[in-house]
Structure formats: structure tokens, C-alpha cells
Chains A and B, each alone.
Chain A
Amino acid sequence: MNQILRPIGLLAELTHRCPLQCPYCSNPVELDRKSGELDTATWKRVFGEAAELGVLQLHLSGGEPTARSDLAELVVHCRAVNLYTNLITSGVLLDQPSLERLYDAGLDHIQLSIQDIDEANADRIGGYRGGHAKKLDLARRVVALGLPLTVNWVVHRQNIHNLGRMIDLAVEMGAKRVEIAHTQYYGWAFKNRRALMPTYRQTLDAIALVEEARKRLEGVIVIDSVVPDYYARFPKACVGGWGRRAINITPQGRVLPCHAAETIPGLVFDNVRDKPLSEIWLNSQAFNAFRGTDWMPDLCRNCDRREVDWGGCRCQAMAIAGSASATDPACSLSPFNATLRAMAEEDSAAEPDQFRYRRFGG
């Protein structure tokens, strides 16, 4: 493979079933039903193909991946083909025997999402009563077992005031890593942006707070932060550049360059039921549509940052600029940047809407 790099990470959405209903869920608004999910044998084949293709880290995600009864069996297989396994979980379904099965299967890492430090608010955001207490309990059991824990906080206007205490709680829990993930406004979060968008001031304060904590807690906890791009000067290199590093597979086996790629009309997604993963990675129309720099508008192609941010996010260009091959409107050089900013400012000043909870059937 000369021009096309080998992928590094695979995000496997094992199922879209989930007991939580977070209004910023990264799953598509049209969720896959259980009846169409890939079976155990197909996932195993795909994981083997992924390892051969060069994938190093496998993210077992969903929905809620622990809703799959074959999860431990899949982890055993991943270890056998030398994939690093990361479980991305809401934590509310993992009883002690299930957790120990995953440990024995060789799971490398658990990433647990928590909605807020305030229990009532956390349960309200997740749309699942009692969820917060279960999450705290799981965190204790994960650390006691000796599995490395990352706590993932999705940050938005309804919890950003607690950001400092979120980091403190992750340290108290014994997490080795904490992720501050400012909400990315696609799919469900796009529907809910009037309830979720923080103000510019809140965003700046949050960035400063994370920088301070990172210095203070060096050697204690690793802090990673996903910066909110609505208020940024340059866009993020979404998925590390389209078709460069990452693969996303839906519960039904569609192979996507990013989890939101299905919001872009005209892309053709291949399915792992029909073709080997390597062939899809190399030849699928969807992966080649925005690979490299040839597809870029002049603004991006002539920019020094073209191989830094790879033109930013295609889905955001689609949603705001109306064209997936436009410069990401999060870029300050984009003609649509003012539109994006105005939207963010208006949404952040709005009276918070009722959440539109993530549910089957939208």
C-alpha cells in the first residue's frame, strides 16, 4: 500500500441497543435494530481481517456493547489475533461475574461514561434512573480488579459548571485517564443543541481549567480533551483524516469512515457481509470520496494546514455549508464560519429545550 495508509483503530458498534438515552448520543438518528445485528462468527472474522490489515486498537462500542451476550467471547478472539481491546461502556449492565469474565478474557481497558457529578442531574441527562449509582459502583469494581479505567465526561451547558469536580472525582476513583469530551454536534446532539450548547465564555473557562488541571495532575492522571470546535480557530482533523486511520462498523456491518458518515448523501457504504475488510478499506467509494487532498476546495488545498487538519469534518460541512466537500465551517477561513458561530451563540443563549432523548424510532 503506497498512498493509502493502513488503519490503526476500529470502532465496532456491536449493537445500538442501550439502556441510556443520552441526548448527545453519537449513534445515528436512525438506529439499527437487534434483528439485523452481525452474529458472533462474522464479528470474529472481521476482527481477524482488521488485525491483518494493520488495525492495532479495537474499540468495542455501541449502543451499549455489554448488551451483547457474546462480548467476552469476542474479547478472547481479539486477544488471539493480537488486537488491543478497549471497552466503551455506560457501565449499568456490568455485574461482577460479567466484569470478571471480561477481565479473564484479556480486556485491556475500560472507558466508562458518566453524565455529571450530581446524581439527579446525571440520571436526568442519561434518561435512566439509578444509572449514576451503578456507574460509581462499577468504577470501584474495575479499579479493585486492576483494570485501567478511563472516565469519559461528555461536557455541555447542563453540566459544564461541574467540570473541575468531574476531574477531581476521576482522580478519587483511581482512574488513570480522564476524557473531557465537549459535545460534538451531529445526529442526536445536533437535534438537542439548544439544550446543550455552552456559551463562548463557558467554553474558554473550561479550556483554561483543563490546562491548569493537566499541569497540576501530571503523573497522577492523563487528561485528554476534545476541544469544542464551534468556537475554535481551525477545525479538528476529524477521525485523523478521512480514510487515513480509522474505521467504523455499524451493528449491521456497514463500514464507515466515521460514525456520522451516513449523514452525507451520495456515499456508498460496503458491508462486511459482502466483502473482506481490506477490499473495503482500499476500494470503497465512501472511503475514497474524501481521502487525501485531491477532493479539497481551493481554500483547503492551498492551505499550509491541509495535511494537519485534512479539511476538518465532512459531516459538519454537510450540515452547515450544505456540501460535504466544502471547508469545515469550524475553520475561521470558511465563508460559513460566521453562520456557524451565530448558530452557536444563538443556541447557547436560548432557554434550554426539553431533551429529545435518544430512542429507537427517533
Chain B
Amino acid sequence: MDALGPQSVPRLPRGVRLSHDQARDRWLLLAPERIFEPNEVALAVLRLVDGERSLQAICEELGRSYNADPALIMTDVVELLGGLVQKRLIET
């Protein structure tokens, strides 16, 4: 598995869905026999994971939304998505 870099294009594989839990009003990542509740930051990242945007593009967009330096954001995003790759919740 290649390490994540700025040009990687992450996507949610089939069987992993970011889903709004209507009954409890929260966002969840649903996966085989697993349910994860992303925190606010993770949710902001996951909403931009669409199989088209690169990590670079995701960080630039987050930088605009949160008025922050994309280079600093990149470190956090790589760590977050890298953890999800290990759990097989994200593919590139």
C-alpha cells in the first residue's frame, strides 16, 4: 500500500458510507460490522473525500473554510486518513 501524499486521491470504498443518523441527529461512518462517529474535524475531512479531490485539493479547501495554512492542515489530514486506511475504511 502506497503512503499517502498530496497527489493521493482518497475514496470511501464500496461498503463504507458516511451517513446521517436521522434518529440521533449525528453523522456516522458505517462499515462492515462497524460504526464510527467522526469528530468535527474528521467529519469536515470526510465530507470532502469523494474519489475525485486529491489530498492537496482537500487541504486547500479546508484551508479556505477554516482560514488556515494548507501545509499545516496536510499533516493532520495525512495522519487522520492514514489511520482510516489502516482500518480499511479509506482506499486510494
- Answer whether A and B are interacting partners: yes
Name the interface size band of chain B: 20 to 34
Chain A CB within 8 A of B14 CB: yes
A6 near B24: Cβ-Cβ < 8 Å: yes
Min distance, Cβ A227 to any Cβ of chain B, angstroms: 16
CB-CB under 8 A from A221, the residues of chain B are: 88
The listed residue (A54, A82, A148, A224) touching B24 by CB distance below 8 A is A54
Chain A residue, CB-CB nearest to B22: A82
CB-CB under 8 A from A108, the residues of chain B are: 14-15, 17, 30, 32
CB-CB under 8 A from B72, the residues of chain A are: none
CA of A169 to CA of B44, assembled, Å: 38
Chain B at the A interface: SS class: loop
A176 near B32: Cβ-Cβ < 8 Å: yes
Chain A residues within 8 Å of chain B by Cβ, number: 26
CA of A177 to CA of B87, assembled, Å: 10
Given contacts A56-B21, A219-B1, A148 and B14 within 8 Å (CB-CB): yes
Residues of B within 8 A of A (CB): 1, 13-17, 19-24, 28, 30, 32-33, 35, 85-88
Residues of A within 8 A of B (CB): 6, 8, 51-54, 56-57, 82, 84, 86, 108-109, 111, 146-148, 150, 176-177, 179, 218-219, 221-222, 224
16 contacts between A and B (CB under 8 A): A6-B23, A51-B23, A54-B21, A54-B23, A56-B35, A57-B35, A82-B22, A84-B30, A86-B32, A108-B30, A108-B32, A109-B32, A148-B16, A150-B32, A177-B32, A218-B86
